[in-house]
Amino acid sequence: DAGVTQSPTHLIKTRGQQVTLRCSPKSGHDTVSWYQQALGQGPQFIFQYYEEEERQRGNFPDRFSGHQFPNYSSELNVNALLLGDSALYLCASSGGSGGFKEETQYFGPGTRLLVL
Amino acid sequence: GEDVEQSLFLSVREGDSSVINCTYTDSSSTYLYWYKQEPGAGLQLLTYIFSNMDMKQDQRLTVLLNKKDKHLSLRIADTQTGDSAIYFCAEMSDSWGKLQFGAGTQVVVTP
């Protein structure tokens, strides 16, 4: 049973560019959350997708957007990249079986983005 | 507001017990988690505790929750070199799944 997968593993972009990161949830999960982890800090919640809609959003600008597909996979898009967007972007999946398991989030390995 | 605080660093000798502490401010927290992050990797779920529990034990891991003081701790018995990592405490205060993390505690295990 594959866990949460993310692609690409590493990415280098320049300021002003746009980037798309991808996530496939753990088998049986229907909810995907995205987090940004800057160097030396804990992860910060960006947003969560459920039933192909953004269900909750953290304190991130509109440059950060996402999408969830019918197969529950998800994309994170960041426009007009800034140097400060350099971070590890983590995807977490949850849900699919109700009860407490819906609240347990399993994380992927992350995509490390460097903005020059 | 929401805030989770952890001590930044812990050094422990191999074979000893490690205790990592965390405090949180959101009294409506329903679930509290401990995650482990090794260099260059994502987050690995270690254990969790419901807010209506005081203690949970899972093999070498023991979680203690003091709801009055909003204090959570993780004890690792017989600490091994493979336990060297950053440990994150996280709280979830709603059922939608937004996790609030601390800054992490770096644990270094010395022989």
Of A42, A56, A95, the CB nearest to B103: A42
**pLDDT of the residue at B95:** 65
For residue B94, CA distances in Å to A34, A36, B91 come to 17, 20, 9
Distance, in Å, from the CA atom of A61 to the CA atom of A84, rounded to the nearest integer, reads 13
Chain A nearest-CA distance from B42, in A, is 4
CB < 8 Å to B102, chain A: 42
A96 interfaces chain B, CB cutoff of 8 Å: no
Burial call B65-83: b when 16+ CB within 10 Å, e when fewer: beeeebebbbebeebeeeb
What is the tens place of the pLDDT at every residue in A63-108? 999 999 999 999 999 999 999 999 999 999 988 665 555 578 899 9
Q: What is the pLDDT of residue B72?
A: 94
Nearest to B95 among A33, A42, A103 (CB): A103
User: For A26-60, how does the pLDDT look when each residue is reduced to its tens digit (9 = 90+)?
Assistant: 998 899 999 999 999 999 999 999 999 999 899 99
Question: What pLDDT is stored for residue B97 in this prediction?
Answer: 77
B95–A contact, CB cutoff 8 A: yes
What Cα–Cα distance (Å) separates residue A81 from each residue in A9, A14, A114, B36? 18, 7, 10, 29
pLDDT at B1: 44
Q: Do A56 and B97 touch (CB under 8 A)?
A: yes
Q: Which residues of A touch B58 (CB under 8 A)?
A: none
- Whether B43 sits inside 8 A of A90 (CB atoms) is yes
| Ranges under pLDDT 50 in chain B | 1
Query: Are B96 and A41 inside 8 Å of each other by CB?
Result: no
